[in-house]
């Protein structure tokens, strides 16, 4: 999956208006040079696997995926069926991102019990293990007679990399210790989300992590992973191309959590501010400092970030 320069770049889907608009957006993302287009898993947005399959059908090389599924929303057996179907229909271009969920109101609206973070993370870990078991089994023995009678083959993933080597690549993203331990143990791609719950505030009230916190979070995940080969992904919360980095940082100070100074915003890897050249330098520095080689920017910033992709690739052998 890695490109010749070692970097991959991705964005995510914001909004769904019509089939024609969606197809045009996917084609444009591919033309801009992105490697992957992700669907989210939030109420009010489109269904993630339907979006992923449609995005793959609209494009020729673009990988597609979920960033990230709320694991407590999903029954593992039914999620396994969604994953294998999407992997087949995308011709093996699927990446599966999983998280523990963080928006309490979505759980309330869906009638799903809101549990503590540790319990939600445990459910995610169990989900990974159960899907791995289902894929490794090579199909359901209860269907063997039916399949043999009609000459059918068991429905199995096209890709054999993630989920213990029996499914598509697995991305696990988060910031807390428990999520990162699970990511380090099972994921092919470890995502550093870069936001943290503000203490004492309602669930879903976040602040941006500083560069120092990013150092610590990556170091913690690496210590848990040991010698495993892992791709490191970072979710960038904002991209702003400007000739005056300091002025933009001063404008944004206070919007991304208490205590975030303009200097913090300029140094954090979860926000990219500056000229195209300056942002490209930030991306290259992020690889050296943190090991980040898979950059994801939110959909509203995809156009603005695209020249950076070209500049980074022109700067690497």
pLDDT digits (tens, 9 = 90+) for 270-298: 999 999 999 999 999 999 999 999 999 99
pLDDT at 317: 72
Identify which of 29, 20, 5 has the alpha carbon closest to the alpha carbon of residue 300: 29
pLDDT at 203 over 80: no
Burial 283-304 (b: 16+ CB within 10 A, else e): beebbeebbbbbbbbbbebbeb
| Token pair of 182 as six digits | 């699970």
Please enumerate in sequence order all residues whose Cβ is within 8 A of that of 187, keeping only pairs 6 or more positions apart, or say none: 162, 170, 171, 172, 230
* The CATH number of domain 8-235+286-299 is 3.40.50.300: no
pLDDT at 257 over 80: no
Between 80 and 204, the higher pLDDT residue: 80
pLDDT at 259: 80
Going through the chain in order, the beta strands assigned E by DSSP cover 8-12, 36-39, 63-70, 94-99, 170-174, 189-192, 195-197, 206-208, 231-236, 238-241, 271-274, 292-297
| Token pair of 289 as six digits | 């400092």
pLDDT at 92 over 80: yes
Confidence category of residue 2, pLDDT binned at 50, 70, 90: low
Can you give 142-160 as a three-state secondary structure string? HHHHHHHHHCCCCCCCCCC
What distance in Å separates the CA atoms of residue 210 and residue 24, rounded to the nearest whole number?
Answer: 36
Confidence category of residue 205, pLDDT binned at 50, 70, 90: confident
pLDDT at 89 over 90: yes
Residue with tokens 């004492």: 200
Is 207 in contact with 245 (CB distance < 8 Å)?
no
Confidence category of residue 4, pLDDT binned at 50, 70, 90: low
pLDDT at 254: 81
pLDDT at 113: 95
pLDDT at 198: 74
pLDDT digits (tens, 9 = 90+) for 127-154: 999 999 999 999 999 999 999 999 999 9
Domain ranges of the chain: 8-235+286-299
pLDDT digits (tens, 9 = 90+) for 182-194: 999 999 999 998 8
pLDDT digits (tens, 9 = 90+) for 27-78: 999 999 999 999 999 999 999 999 999 999 999 999 999 999 999 999 999 9
CA 260-265-271 angle, to 5 degrees, is: 130
């Amino acid at each position: 999956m890695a490109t010749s320069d070692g970097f991959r770049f991705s964005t995510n889907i914001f909004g769904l208006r019509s089939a024609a608009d969606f197809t045009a957006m996917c084609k444009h993302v591919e033309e801009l040079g992105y490697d992957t287009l992700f669907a989210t898993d939030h109420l009010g947005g489109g269904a993630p696997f339907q979006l992923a399959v449609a995005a793959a059908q609209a494009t020729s090389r673009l990988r597609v995926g979920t960033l990230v599924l709320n694991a407590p929303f999903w029954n593992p057996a039914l999620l396994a069926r969604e994953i294998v179907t999407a992997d087949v229909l995308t011709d093996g271009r699927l990446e599966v991102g999983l998280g523990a969920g963080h928006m309490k109101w979505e759980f309330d609206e869906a009638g799903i019990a809101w549990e503590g973070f540790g319990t939600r993370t445990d459910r995610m870990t169990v989900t990974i293990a159960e899907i791995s078991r289902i894929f490794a089994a090579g199909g359901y023995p209860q269907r063997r007679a039916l399949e043999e009678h009609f000459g059918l083959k068991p429905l199995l993933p096209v890709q054999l990399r993630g989920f213990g080597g029996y499914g598509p690549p697995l991305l696990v993203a988060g910031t807390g210790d428990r999520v990162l331990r699970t990511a380090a143990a099972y994921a092919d791609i470890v995502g550093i989300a870069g936001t943290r719950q503000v203490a004492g505030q309602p669930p879903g009230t976040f602040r941006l992590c500083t560069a120092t916190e990013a150092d610590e979070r990556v170091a913690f995940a690496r210590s848990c992973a040991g010698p495993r080969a892992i791709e490191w992904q970072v979710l960038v919360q904002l991209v702003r191309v400007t000739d005056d980095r300091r002025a933009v940082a001063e404008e944004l100070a206070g919007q991304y959590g208490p205590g975030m100074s303009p200097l913090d915003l300029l140094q954090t890897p979860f926000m990219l501010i500056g000229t195209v050249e300056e942002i490209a330098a930030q991306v290259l520095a992020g690889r050296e400092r943190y090991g980040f080689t898979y950059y994801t920017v939110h959909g509203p910033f995809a156009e603005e970030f695209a020249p950076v992709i070209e500049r980074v690739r022109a700067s690497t052998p």
